Amino acid sequence: TFTLERIHQEENAAKNTHVAGASLVDYNRAGTALMEIVSNPCMHSAEDALAYMTAVKQIMQYGGISNCDQEKGQMRSDVNVSVRPVGQKELGAKVEIKNMNSFAFIKDAIEYEIERQIAVLESGGKVDQETRGYNPDRGETFIQRTKEDAHDYRYFPEPDLMPVKISREQIEAWRAELPELPVQRRERYVTELGLPEYDAGVLTADKATSDYFEATMAHAKNAKAVSNFIMGEMMRLLSEQSLPISESKVTPEKLAEIIALIDAKTISTGGGKQIFETIFNEGGDPKAIMEAKGLAQVSDDSALEGWADEAIANNPKPVEEYKAGNAASINFLMGQVMKASRGKANPGAVMQMLKQKLDA
């Protein structure tokens, strides 16, 4: 459980960038309002810190508060690290690592700083309370300034601002207006849509992806199939081309149509993936692509019977093995039918046809 000490509003001052021995100061965001969330010392590892940061980021995104684009300065973190010997209740000196703008850097900086402080204490030294920066090229923290005491920020009330008293009724009214948060959406995907917890976690990790899933489900019924396509084909192609899901040519409506064609056994799952990739790269209509590529499955009994008879006649050995009790031998015959049909035969119908003929 992560607990908070306070949330307060500040004004952005400037962005400092330290490169090649120089410090660059960017005032473009000076005066911009920002919200600082201060947690209690309730995290015990870099993994805990990342879980906390991920939760905060998702809440901000789902609430429409911020896109939390760290490269654009919309979200950054000051990380406080202290260590203590096993059995000691009091925390050690607090070292603050300023202005971290990458989850990966946060993890690396915490792990480095923990090791550094432990090494200092084990060598008989003393960890000083100080502010440090992080050099990602060297994978090290470095000192920026020391702190004389724990109250170096010297916060004090603004005398010209009167206290604001908010009623419980007003708080509850605002609470009722809150959007569905990621944890609630994950639970709904599992309990109402029947998705595995893993799928629900992947889909809700990014709001844009979850919104795409929601939009697709407005036109589809098979939640697991939608999830599989998004986690599989969609994420693979987006990663290969470094695109956000919002720029995919496969709209939610088109994905729902592809899945409907598969569920109706008009095309195979493999055919659906071909159509998906074609639309992703070139655009187009699922049914038109299906017809142009000849991906429609054949379920006509007369056509299937011809292919089945041919496979049985040309392969007496697996036929004998099947009739002798080796049920797996039918898979070879199945493959021969699919080969003869160039993959167009409906697999379920083929299997049924073969069993009907072999068991007669």
Beta-carbon contacts of residue 218 (< 8 Å; ≥ 6 apart): 252
Q: Domain range spanning residue 344?
A: 301-358
CA 148 to chain centre: 42
| Model pLDDT for residues 71-106, shown as the tens digit of each residue | 887 898 999 999 999 999 899 999 999 888 899 999
Are residue 261 and residue 309 in the same domain, yes or no?
A: no
* Inside any domain, residue 208: yes
Predicted confidence at residue 79, as pLDDT, reads 95
Predicted confidence at residue 155, as pLDDT, reads 63
Are residue 279 and residue 310 in the same domain, yes or no?
A: no
* Inside any domain, residue 91: yes
Are residue 142 and residue 8 in the same domain, yes or no?
A: yes
* Inside any domain, residue 176: no
Q: How many CB atoms lie within 10 A of CB 8?
A: 11
Specify whether the CB–CB gap between 275 and 286 falls below 8 A. yes
Count CA within 13 A, CB hemisphere, residue 225: 22
Q: What is the per-residue DSSP string for 193-250?
A: T---HHHHHHHHSSHHHHHHHHHHHTT-S-HHHHHHHIIIIIHHHHHHHT--GGG-SS
Are residue 59 and residue 134 in the same domain, yes or no?
A: yes
pTM (2 decimals)? Answer: 0.73
* Inside any domain, residue 125: yes
Predicted confidence at residue 223, as pLDDT, reads 97
* Inside any domain, residue 138: yes
Q: Which residues pair with 8 in a beta bridge?
A: 36
Predicted confidence at residue 21, as pLDDT, reads 78
* Inside any domain, residue 269: yes
| Model pLDDT for residues 124-181, shown as the tens digit of each residue | 999 999 999 999 999 999 998 886 555 555 667 778 888 889 999 999 999 999 999 9
Please count the structural domains in the chain. 3
Are residue 133 and residue 209 in the same domain, yes or no?
A: no
* Inside any domain, residue 243: yes
- Rounded Cα–Cα distance for residues 231 and 189 (Å): 15
Are residue 89 and residue 114 in the same domain, yes or no?
A: yes
The DSSP secondary-structure symbol of 71 reads G
